[in-house]
Homo-oligomer: A and B are copies of this chain.
Amino acid sequence: MPSAQTRTRTFRPLPVPSVTLGGLFGERQDAVCATTAETLLDRCVEAGMLDAIDVTKPSPGIVIPLQPWSGSTQMFWDSDLGKSIETVAYSLYRKPNPKLEARVDAIIDLYEKLQDEDGYVNAWFQRIQPEKRWSNLRDFHELYCAGHLMEGAVAYYQATGKRKLLDIMCRFADYMITMFGHGEGQIPGYCGHEEIELALVKLARVTGERKYLDLSKFFIDERGTEPHYFTQEAIRDGRDPKNFIQKTYEYSQSHKPVREQTHVVGHAVRAMYLYSGMADIAAEYGDDSLTKALETLWSDLVTRQMYITGGIGPAASNEGFTEPYDLPNESAYAETCASVGLVFWANRMLGRGPNRDYADIMEQALYNGALSGLSLDGKTFFYENPLESAGKHHRWVWHHCPCCPPNIARLVASIGSYMYAVADDEIAVHLYGESQARFEIAGTVVTLAQQTRYPWDGAIALTLGGLETPQSFAISLRIPGWAKGAKLTVGAEPVDLAAVTVDGYARIERIWSAGDQMRLDLPLNPRFLHANPLVRQDAGRAALMRGPLVYCAEEVDNGTGLNRLTVTGDPQAAREASVEGLKNAVALDLDAEQDRADWGSTLYREAPPQTQPAKARFVPYALWDNRAPGEMLVWMRRPDGRQTKTGSGA
């Protein structure tokens, strides 16, 4: 939890164009620029999304059939376009692309023509089911779609200076302000799928209009209050409120007012978007009652409900949470969007001061459960991110619900913004990686360069630039919890980390000049992690990590039958190898024993399997299924627990 003294400060992420990336994320951004951004637009077009918003064409009608909840994933098409526009916007900073920009301009022109007089914009409720407008906030994602278009509008305006979509969405937001509230004829409701809350904050920040913040706060404050809006809405329209396919309002975190919520429940992406919006409003209004609720929810998530990959939401049935410590590996849903959402939330929890509790998890979710959603070439995607596969789980080209591809793409394309945050007198470095950051502190332009091969190597050289005149301020460098034995030098001086570390950040406050250098050494410590014994699915097993990266074994390296392996080798003695097919990612090789497959003709027998010596190769989890398809396994059998009968202590 953040120490009390840091609560009062405000840290703003650096704007996306203020950070230029090399290294791993530079390469991934190049892939987004080269292929993903265009791929997203292409596939949106192929899916028929432009026909849906083009008023000069006949309505396409219901292309994706209605489901038992009376809706269709086609209802979310605006959100897919919104996130794709956002991705393109960020990509333009790194690589101007007039062709892509023109395509987005054309889409925005269609939205301009689509918008109603009153400001309303939504392809489904204008063109497919106009009679259903505002009829079912619980299920129909109406404000969710608006939120994603707003995020796209803000990003596109910031990247290009073009205001058209921003103006469209401001008009829509102004209309929402008239529509939502407790006044006569107003709707005292909120969206079943959170998103509008955080989007309105972005809109407010870019326009300076506090009214958008107020609407966001209204949605957050109203959520889960009684009489329950979703119940009232159903009764109003003659629907049975109990006839709800998800059964409980926990699904949309509207089972009780948000400040009273203590357990992370329901649909995982919705939860992350809500908490992100709550964190924004907490920061904007200095609302400690929200921050307190968020701290409780955070603790519940990361100590009881999070996969080691930062994947969250184990169940397909509700795309979300089940019971504490229930983390099945092979059937893990762990939607890419949910891990992306966890990065969003963690980043916003850093808005009130650097704190390793949040930044470590942000990094863990980013490098593992989120990044796994995008192939190395930027062309194929995971929706679910299981921690074990028997060989049939593969990246796909497109999905009937293509929410994940543009979500991970917009995160990757904007990742610089998550690496650094700046306050009046302090810059925080949350994430490491080859990069150049530009910011302003006390009116002075400062640059901060990281030279590093991180995450493949833990040596990071930081060099300050700009600074026409020396300036006093603090630089806070995250010392990851896993980096046992980290070392820092400022200039030639070794720093006593224990003395300067606050909330897990080494805080160096001094007068900085251009050319000042720091050197941070983060031992990547290849290590096995064990899960709390209450996680039944991981009993007797361990997961290999190195730095922030979770590792896994793949069939392409180890043959079939990954559960036949027991990894006996000491991770500190792991041999490193560079894998060409994975853009020279660092693989780790360990000794293992393998249950022999020459078993005989019965399925069950008294004699345990014979074993034979073997090697196990591990590669970063996020990179699996980029080579020959096959099995994958994160939690490997380990002899540890059983060798040391009394355990080796906590």
Query: Is the beta-carbon distance between B532 and A603 smaller than 8 angstroms?
Result: yes
The stretch that binds B, out of A12-20, A32-40, A573-581, A636-644, is: A636-644
* Nearest B residue (CB) for A323: B390
At the interface, yes or no: A70 with Cβ under 8 Å from chain B? no
At the interface, yes or no: A606 with Cβ under 8 Å from chain B? yes
Complex interface bits, A480-515 against B, C-beta within 8 A gives 1, otherwise 0: 000000000000000000000000000000000000
Query: Is the beta-carbon distance between A595 and B561 smaller than 8 angstroms?
Result: no
* Nearest B residue (CB) for A611: B647
At the interface, yes or no: A306 with Cβ under 8 Å from chain B? yes
Query: Is the beta-carbon distance between A566 and B642 smaller than 8 angstroms?
Result: yes
Query: Is the beta-carbon distance between A646 and B539 smaller than 8 angstroms?
Result: no
Residues of B within 8 A of A650 (CB): 599-600, 605, 607, 610
Query: Is the beta-carbon distance between A647 and B608 smaller than 8 angstroms?
Result: yes
The stretch that binds B, out of A80-88, A125-133, A289-297, A523-531, is: A523-531
CA distance A602 to B330 in the complex (A): 23
Tell me the smallest distance from the CB of A474 to a CB of chain B, in Å: 28
Residues of B within 8 A of A641 (CB): 566, 595, 608-609, 611
At the interface, yes or no: A55 with Cβ under 8 Å from chain B? no
Complex interface bits, A511-553 against B, C-beta within 8 A gives 1, otherwise 0: 0000000000000000111111111110110110000000000
Query: Is the beta-carbon distance between B601 and A529 smaller than 8 angstroms?
Result: no
At the interface, yes or no: A54 with Cβ under 8 Å from chain B? no
- Please provide the chain A residues from 590 to 619 with a CB less than 8 Å away from any CB of chain B in the complex: 593, 595-597, 599-611
At the interface, yes or no: A259 with Cβ under 8 Å from chain B? no
CA distance A637 to B536 in the complex (A): 11
At the interface, yes or no: A393 with Cβ under 8 Å from chain B? no
Query: Pick the contact of A536 from B561, B599, B639 — CB < 8 Å?
Result: B561
At the interface, yes or no: A648 with Cβ under 8 Å from chain B? yes
Residues of B within 8 A of A597 (CB): 533-534
Residues of B within 8 A of A540 (CB): 540, 566, 637
At the interface, yes or no: A326 with Cβ under 8 Å from chain B? yes
At the interface, yes or no: A308 with Cβ under 8 Å from chain B? yes
- Known A390-B323, A561-B536; judge A607-B647 contact (CB<8 A): yes
Chain A residues packing against B (C-beta within 8 Å): 302-304, 306, 308, 323, 326, 328, 330-331, 390, 527-537, 539-540, 542-543, 561-564, 566, 593, 595-597, 599-611, 637-642, 644-650
- Which 6 residue pairs spanning A and B have beta carbons closest together? A610-B647, A533-B595, A536-B563, A539-B563, A608-B640, A608-B641
Give 15 A-B pairs besides A530-B608, A593-B642 with Cβ atoms closer than 8 angstroms: A308-B604, A326-B390, A529-B604, A529-B606, A533-B596, A542-B608, A543-B604, A595-B641, A600-B650, A608-B640, A610-B646, A610-B648, A610-B649, A611-B641, A611-B646
- 26 interchain pairs, CB-CB under 8 A: A303-B602, A304-B603, A306-B603, A308-B603, A326-B390, A530-B604, A530-B606, A530-B607, A530-B609, A531-B604, A532-B599, A532-B603, A533-B561, A533-B563, A533-B609, A534-B599, A536-B562, A539-B564, A539-B595, A543-B604, A593-B645, A599-B650, A607-B650, A608-B648, A610-B646, A610-B648
